[in-house]
């Protein structure tokens, strides 16, 4: 089981690095840079980037869910009766669902979320802030260790 546990952790953290890092890059580097392009060039470039980035987002969500649930079910017996741990991890999961929703809406094509895509910078900022909160919660829960066992 050691190798499965190890692989699950590596997949979870590597996915976070790729997807959250890509979101930070888009927010802090790509969006400011494309403001210099003409409107037609910007639209063409945005479509090309979005069509490629959506694969990372969708596969990333799948990998996050698979490795996250595996890690969750593996850790639950170790934290039986630890209310703070369960509250932290539950909050982390709810925030992650928000991140998944925003990321999916930003790379999707549904007219329902066109307003979100029109304010991409705002929603990417929210996504990155939520991801930072998730990292803070995860880090605290990890270094806090097992309490009451």
Tens of pLDDT, residue by residue over 62-109, are 999 999 999 999 999 999 999 999 999 999 999 999 999 999 999 999
Number of domains in the chain: 1
Query: Does residue 118 fall inside a structural domain?
Result: yes
For 104-133, b/e burial (b = at least 16 CB within 10 A) is ebbbbeeeebeebbeebeebbeebbebbee
The helix (H) or strand (E) run that includes residue 66 is helix 39-75
Is 15:135 a contact under the CB 8 Å cutoff? no
Task: Quote the domain boundaries for residue 127.
Answer: 2-144
Using the predicted structure, report yes or no on whether residue 149 has a pLDDT greater than 60. Answer: no
SS3 content of the chain, % helix, strand, coil (to 5): 90, 0, 10
Query: Does residue 135 fall inside a structural domain?
Result: yes
Query: Does residue 149 fall inside a structural domain?
Result: no
Structure tokens at 9: 């952790």
Higher pLDDT, 106 or 43: 106
Structure tokens at 131: 């991801």
Query: Does residue 44 fall inside a structural domain?
Result: yes
pLDDT of residue 1: 85
Percent of the chain's residues with pLDDT above 90: 91
């Amino acid at each position: 089981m050691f190798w499965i546990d190890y692989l699950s952790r590596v997949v979870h953290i590597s996915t976070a690095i790729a997807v959250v890092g890509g979101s930070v890059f888009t927010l802090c580097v790509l969006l400011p840079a494309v403001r210099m392009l003409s409107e037609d060039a910007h639209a063409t470039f945005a479509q090309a980037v979005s069509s490629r980035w959506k694969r990372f987002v969708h596969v990333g969500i799948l990998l996050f869910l698979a490795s996250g649930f595996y890690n969750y079910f593996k850790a639950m017996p170790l934290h039986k009766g630890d209310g703070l741990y369960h509250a932290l991890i539950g909050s982390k999961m709810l925030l992650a669902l928000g991140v998944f929703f925003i990321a999916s809406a930003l790379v999707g094509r549904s007219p329902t979320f066109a307003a979100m895509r029109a304010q991409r910078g705002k929603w990417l900022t929210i996504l990155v802030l939520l991801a930072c909160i998730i990292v803070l919660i995860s880090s605290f829960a990890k270094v806090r260790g097992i309490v009451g066992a």
